[in-house]
Structure formats: structure tokens, C-alpha cells
């Protein structure tokens, strides 16, 4: 199955949101996600982009979504794949993996 290389966007801020005090920072979550997904989908290209919601990106769509995170008081980090929110606050790897599989990514299993 052909797959489109997707961009996984992680929106957040250096300051941890009030309800996320014991969780990793948005940047740490972005780095963890990139490493975890690289292990799950070896040799299958994708991009993980960290976007600081208080330091707007030059891309207008990313600026608009950053504003939405702030305006709607979304719990960050907010993980977005192809315009769909797939994780918020404490994103679940299993949910993100399932979303990537919808785009043709094949999960690596030992022995395959």
C-alpha cells in the first residue's frame, strides 16, 4: 500500500499547562514521540514538528491552530496528524500509532 509521508505536529509551550504539572513538557513529549514512532515504523519516513504556541510559526495554518489551542484552552501538548487532533495533554502512543496505520504505515513486529 502506498503511503503519504505525514507530518505529526506537536503544539505546546515551554511552560507546562496547569493541569499537566506531573507530565513531561511539550518539547519532551515531541522528542519522545519521534523516538517511539521511529521504533514502531522503522524505515518509514514521517516528520514530527514541535510548534511553540506562544512563538508562532511562519506557516499560517500552524499559526491559526496555535491560536485555537490558546483560545479553546486545549490541554497541551496537542498532537495533530493531517488536521485531526489525535492526542491532548497526555497523548497515547497507541492512538497515534492507529492513526498512522490509517495512512498506510505498517507497524514493525519482532520477527517480521
Strand ranges inside 1-112, DSSP E: 7-12, 47-52, 78-81, 84-88
Its pTM surpasses 0.85: yes
Give the helix, strand, coil percentages of the chain, each rounded to 5. Answer: 35, 20, 45
pLDDT in tens, 87-105: 998 899 999 999 999 999 9
pLDDT in tens, 47-66: 999 999 999 778 999 999 99
The whole-angstrom separation of Cα 52 and Cα 62 is 10
Confidence (pLDDT) at 24? 83
Q: Please give the domain boundaries of the chain with CATH numbers for all domains.
A: 7-102 (3.40.30.30)
Average pLDDT estimate for 18-27: 76
On whether the CB atoms of residues 19 and 89 are closer than 8 A, the answer is: yes
Distances, alpha carbon 35 to alpha carbons 31, 38, 41, 86, in Å: 6, 5, 10, 18
Report residue 111's pLDDT band, with 50, 70 and 90 as the boundaries. very low
Amino acid at each position: 500500500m502506498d503511503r503519504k509521508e505525514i507530518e505529526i505536529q506537536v503544539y505546546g509551550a515551554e511552560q507546562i499547562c496547569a493541569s499537566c504539572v506531573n507530565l513531561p513538557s511539550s518539547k519532551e513529549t515531541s522528542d519522545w514521540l519521534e523516538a517511539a514512532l521511529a521504533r514502531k515504523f522503522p524505515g518509514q519516513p514521517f516528520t514530527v514538528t514541535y510548534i511553540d504556541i506562544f512563538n508562532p510559526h511562519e506557516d499560517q495554518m500552524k499559526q491559526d491552530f496555535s491560536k485555537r489551542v490558546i483560545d479553546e484552552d486545549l490541554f497541551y501538548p496537542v498532537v495533530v496528524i493531517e488536521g485531526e487532533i489525535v492526542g491532548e495533554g497526555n497523548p497515547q502512543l497507541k492512538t497515534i500509532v492507529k492513526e498512522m496505520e490509517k495512512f498506510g504505515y505498517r507497524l514493525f513486529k519482532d520477527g517480521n
